[in-house]
Structure 1
Amino acid sequence: MPAPRQIFLAVIGTGGVGKCFLNQVQEIAGRLSQNAQAPIYLSLILLARSSKVLRHANYAPIKLSSWESDLSASSAGPLSPSEIADYLAAAPSKVVLVDNTSNQDVADAYPLFLKKGISVVTPNKKGFSGSYSLWQAIYGAAANGHGAGGYVFHESSVGAGLPVLSTLKELVETGDEVRRIEGVFSGTMSFLFNSFQPVAGGGGKFSAEVKKAKDLGFTEPDPRDDLNGLDVARKLTILARLSGLPIENPTSFPVQSLIPKELESVATGDEFLARLPEFDADMDKIKAEAEKEGKVVRFVGSIDVPSKQVKVGLEKFDHSHPIAALKGSDNIINFYTKRYGDKPLIIQGAGAGGDVTAMGVSGDLFKVLRLIH
């Protein structure tokens, strides 16, 4: 019978996703410890947010039931990623670092963590969609890349809890030929265009739909962070790289921004929303053109693997197309491959939200637990 195992967890980031993840881990840890065949004891040994950190010099576990109040009560200031790496590398058991931030400095340190044998699980897109050299350094160090260090998984960096990366990986590994990937990769953009131009007709003014999306919490605090298309470009960069294309960064291919030039430099998100109605006529024109052709307009990302073309922006779709029929803030990713022919393999569902993103992170944690001994 396998011996019981002790695995240490370190968590950076306690915002929306971080909080949901820690709630899920509390339940998962209880279950794993009760496994009569091969119990795993998960212990949280470090918890960090931008302003402070909670840890013990002797690696004593942090209580999952009271982490919030214990972290608030901590008087220890923040640690740099290299200080965190040193602390974790000296731990008496294997460590999994869970980065629930979107912080570039933490992402830059992934190769360092991995080389020290610390596995990394994260929804943070920055490490996998930034410079190609960082991508190479991460997978050059990881045991599931070309290195001998820790393992790295980032399923939720593209589709929250949807199995997008694992599906693509399996297609590639089993020898299928991925020809084209196309989809709606942003819950915000999905909601926005499904209400701006519903298949059934109608829909409001673009500026009104942006305001509605913000009021419902679908956009970033400044909606320009969604409308510039960069979030989708980051996801496309990750998928393109996993498909074998050496994309340099998310700005090295065409990305259509929906921010009017005149509003790019206004001081605040509120001012942007106040002035956006001045530009509704431009979007009305695009909508009318699509209607004339019996189509709807959607904000999509696409990768054409043979021609190495990647692009993000508005495209028109027939009403019968799966992308046109999307509801609410769902994401849809279509894989056109040699095996699947003209009918793509489709993954569809909620592509944003704390619980489903944390589920993707928890799923990656299980992948690491199966691999480390």
Structure 2
Amino acid sequence: MAVAACRAMSEKTTQLAVGLVGPGVVGRALLEQLRVESKNLLSKYRVDLQVQGILNSSQVILGKEGQPIDLDAYGDQLLASSADASLGVLTQHLRDSPLPHKVIIDCTASAYVPQFYRRWMEQGIHIVTPNKKLNSGPLAEYLAVKQLQKAGRAHYMYEGTVGAGLPIISTLKSLLDTGDEVQRIEGVFSGTLSYIFNTLTPGKTFSSVVSGARRRGYTEPDPRDDLSGMDVTRKVINLARECGNKIELSAVDTESLVPEPLRKAQSPQEFMDSLHEHDDVMAARVAEADEHGEVLRYVGSYDAESGVCQVLLRRFPKSHPFANLSGTENIISFTTLRYSNPPLIVRGPGAGPAVTAAGVFADVVTLARYLGAPS
């Protein structure tokens, strides 16, 4: 009866069994958005999103007897769970669901979880993710997943990998799909580094600004993860590959902002305690830029003609769009045949759990429309 009822309902609605991996800050924000908006999606757009599984690194909860998980109480259930917490268990549970469509949302920053993407897509399970590791990882794995998508095995949605909730990937795809030719992409891709260099003015020290960003929760627990520039590098590679460039991570010229002596500090706190010893180097760069009427911005770029990707701390006139950001704003500039003077610019909030979750949520809704839900 349950299967028959689901089939009858599916004639009127687009139903998705959802498995979420990584209920961290972004995952929790997404689950809250799903909890609040699920009834509206069902009544307005006939999209029925049923969260059937939630998995963290050591625990899992699964919907019982085809019923979705209660999103008002999943936190306590997850803490109390003693079930086998594995991606295999979650995968099998989704496969057993009577709902016609299945999607796994990867909200981790793990390099391990994307190793399952191909396996999931081969089984017809769609993927939505803000995780950058697949798109900027080994080229062969990236191309294999894209080929499965092209072959129609399953949809792979990843808007949140570059601009959190900003429409960066979709904008680039629209340009390419309509025959435009990308010449250059550049921008401030890190909300954390945007905040740091929007705040770092003459008279302020680099260490105090980084410390302030950390207190506000803008940095990773270890600020070196932001200051290394690797997050920006992965985003730039993602965009370059979207344009057809087969670049590997190791080929990108990335400037680390972590002082060389502190790269092997034993802990984040040891790093922060010693960062002030290197303030003079950054202070000199800030002062020199200011003397020339310029500011410092940490920018990633892709030049289509040369195929070169760079991630560097650069100087810009105070009149430049990159110089007039505030807070954690991102800004990305697309120079193309159609948009050259001025280029096409996308600007807005580039960090925060709610913003990133909203970008993931939008991908899930877009997926539902691809699967037949009305616009």
Q: TM-score band, normalised by the shorter chain?
A: over 0.9
Question: What SS class does the counterpart of residue 135 from structure 2 fall into?
Answer: helix
1:270-303 per-position Cα deviation (integer Å, ceiling 9, x unaligned): 1111111111111122122212322111111011
CA contact (8 A) 1:85 1:112 kept: no
1:130-172 per-position Cα deviation (integer Å, ceiling 9, x unaligned): 1111111111112xxx223111101011111000000000001
Q: Which residue of 1 aligns with 2:209?
A: 209
1:307-328 per-position Cα deviation (integer Å, ceiling 9, x unaligned): 1010001111001000011111
Number of equivalent positions: 362
Q: What amino acid is the match of 1:311?
A: Q
Q: Which residue of 2 aligns with 1:335?
A: 334
Shift of 1:190: 0.5
Question: What SS class does the counterpart of residue 301 from structure 2 fall into?
Answer: strand
User: In the alignment, which of 22, 36, 53 is matched to residue 31 of structure 2?
Assistant: 22
Whole-Å separation in 1 of the counterparts to 2:177 and 2:168: 14
Q: Which residue of 2 aligns with 1:178?
A: 182
Q: Which residue of 2 aligns with 1:87?
A: 93
User: In the alignment, which of 96, 101, 113 is matched to residue 103 of structure 2?
Assistant: 96
CA contact (8 A) 1:195 1:203 kept: no
Q: Which residue of 2 aligns with 1:159?
A: 163
Q: Which residue of 1 aligns with 2:139?
A: 132
CA contact (8 A) 2:14 2:371 kept: no
Shift of 1:84: 2.9
Question: What SS class does the counterpart of residue 267 from structure 1 fall into?
Answer: coil
Question: What SS class does the counterpart of residue 50 from structure 2 fall into?
Answer: strand
Whole-Å separation in 1 of the counterparts to 2:13 and 2:188: 43
Shift of 1:128: 1.0
CA contact (8 A) 1:240 1:303 kept: yes
Q: Which residue of 2 aligns with 1:13?
A: 22
Shift of 1:29: 1.6
Shift of 1:57: 6.1
Unaligned residue ranges in structure 1 (runs of 5+): none
Matched, 1:119 2:126: yes
Question: What SS class does the counterpart of residue 300 from structure 1 fall into?
Answer: strand
Shift of 1:73: 2.4
Whole-Å separation in 1 of the counterparts to 2:285 and 2:42: 57
Question: What SS class does the counterpart of residue 86 from structure 1 fall into?
Answer: helix
CA contact (8 A) 1:7 1:41 kept: yes
TM-align CA RMSD:
1.6
User: In the alignment, which of 49, 55, 71 is matched to residue 42 of structure 1?
Assistant: 49
Question: What SS class does the counterpart of residue 104 from structure 1 fall into?
Answer: coil
Whole-Å separation in 1 of the counterparts to 2:365 and 2:14: 14
Shift of 1:228: 0.5
CA contact (8 A) 2:62 2:93 kept: no
Whole-Å separation in 1 of the counterparts to 2:80 and 2:54: 12
Q: Which residue of 2 aligns with 1:245?
A: 245
Question: What SS class does the counterpart of residue 343 from structure 1 fall into?
Answer: coil
Shift of 1:33: 2.3
Calculate the TM-score normalised by the size of structure 2. Answer: 0.93
1:204-256 per-position Cα deviation (integer Å, ceiling 9, x unaligned): 0111111111111111111111110001001111011111111122x321000
CA contact (8 A) 2:14 2:368 kept: no
Q: Which residue of 1 aligns with 2:62?
A: 55
Whole-Å separation in 2 of the counterparts to 1:372 and 1:9: 14
Q: What amino acid is the match of 1:367?
A: T
CA contact (8 A) 1:178 1:335 kept: yes
Whole-Å separation in 1 of the counterparts to 2:31 and 2:163: 20
1:75-95 per-position Cα deviation (integer Å, ceiling 9, x unaligned): 21311x344333322322211
Q: Which residue of 1 aligns with 2:115?
A: 108
Whole-Å separation in 2 of the counterparts to 1:303 and 1:309: 6
Say if 1:229 and 1:73 are closer, same or farther in 2 by CA, change over 3 A.
same
Q: What amino acid is the match of 2:82?
A: S
Matched, 1:265 2:269: no
CA contact (8 A) 2:61 2:78 kept: yes
Whole-Å separation in 2 of the counterparts to 1:210 and 1:66: 37
Whole-Å separation in 1 of the counterparts to 2:174 and 2:334: 12
Q: Which residue of 2 aligns with 1:148?
A: 152
Q: Which residue of 1 aligns with 2:77?
A: 70
Q: What amino acid is the match of 2:14?
A: R
Identity among equivalent pairs (%): 40
Say if 1:292 and 1:5 are closer, same or farther in 2 by CA, change over 3 A.
closer
Matched, 1:31 2:30: no
Matched, 1:367 2:373: no
Unaligned residue ranges in structure 2 (runs of 5+): 1-9
Question: What SS class does the counterpart of residue 253 from structure 2 fall into?
Answer: coil
Whole-Å separation in 1 of the counterparts to 2:127 and 2:121: 7
Instruction: Name which of structure 1's ranges 180-189 and 66-75 shifts more when overlaid on structure 2.
Output: 66-75
Shift of 1:56: 4.3
